[in-house]
Copies of this chain bind each other. A is one copy, B any other.
Amino acid sequence: MTRPALSRERVIDAALTLVDREGLESLSMRRLGQQLGVEAMSLYNHVSGKADILDGLAEAVLARLDVHLDPAVSWQDKIRALARSFRTAATSHPGAFTLVSARQLGSASGLRPIEAELLILHEAGFDAETSVHILRTFVAFVTGSLVRELTAEPVVSGIDPVARATRIEVLKAAGFSAIADAADHIAIVDHEAEYYFGVDLFITGLEAQLRG
């Protein structure tokens, strides 16, 4: 039962498995070495350091992103499909996805979703320069939404009506009347619905911009 030889790819793969299972904060060189049946120092023969592993994780997540789009559907539905791919990647790799938003992504894996999005925007009728601006807005919204979803606490299901009433009184007394009025809607968070509400608002903005 000989172990396969170590390589950068095997190290990154093991890191992704570890992070998927136990979270980003439990990724350490020693822990990862242990996972691969090797001492921590051996990893330095295949990656330049921990930062390199984090870059590799971000790339690995993007590489697994499904950018295939049904050519028959509207550009609006293509944007929705791409947004859905991002959310699938985020929920499949919650620990590692955070890295995607924070790190620069120049590798080929990072370029695939960018190419896909630019093609959609070209089809919609935007010129190259405008498409780049829209692309950056899209990425900002998608990563901002998903990182927030991933770091959010699990939603509380049952709400004590007494606690609710006193909380609303406290908010009003503190001068937060708009929050008090919206308290019942703030208490409910359906992350998936929330995400697609934003995606649709984004698309609505694009449609209006095309018209005007």
Q: Is the interface of A mostly helix, strand, loop or mixed?
A: helix
Specify which chain B residues have a CB less than 8 angstroms from the CB of A119 in the assembled complex: 178
Interface residue? A48 (CB, 8 A): no
Identify which of A38-46, A87-95, A146-154 touches chain B: A146-154
- B176 touching A115, Cβ below 8 Å: yes
Verify if A68 is at the interface (C-beta below 8 Å from B).
Answer: no
Is B198 a contact of A137 with CB atoms below 8 Å? yes
Closest 6 CB pairs of A and B: A144-B144, A205-B205, A118-B178, A140-B144, A137-B198, A140-B145
Interface string of A123-145 (1 = CB under 8 A from B): 00000110111101101111111
- For A98, A103, A136, A177, which residue has the most chain B Cβ atoms within 10 angstroms? A136
Q: Decide if A108 is an interface residue (CB 8 Å cutoff).
A: yes
Residues of B within 8 A of A5 (CB): none
* Chain B residues with CB below 8 A from A204, complex form: 205, 208-209, 212
A36 at the interface (CB under 8 A from B): no
Name the B residues within 8 Å of A111 (CB-CB).
Answer: 171, 174, 176, 179
A185 to B122, CA, bound (A): 14
Query: A63 interface residue, CB < 8 Å from B?
Result: no
The minimal Cβ–Cβ distance linking A133 to chain B, given in whole angstroms, is 5
With A143-B148, A202-B205 in contact, do A132 and B101 touch (Cβ < 8 Å)? no
CB distance from A186 to the nearest CB of B (A): 6
- Please judge, given known A-B contacts A140-B148, A202-B205, A205-B201, whether A182 and B104 are in contact too, CB under 8 Å: no
The docked-state distance in angstroms from the alpha carbon of A175 to that of B132 is: 18
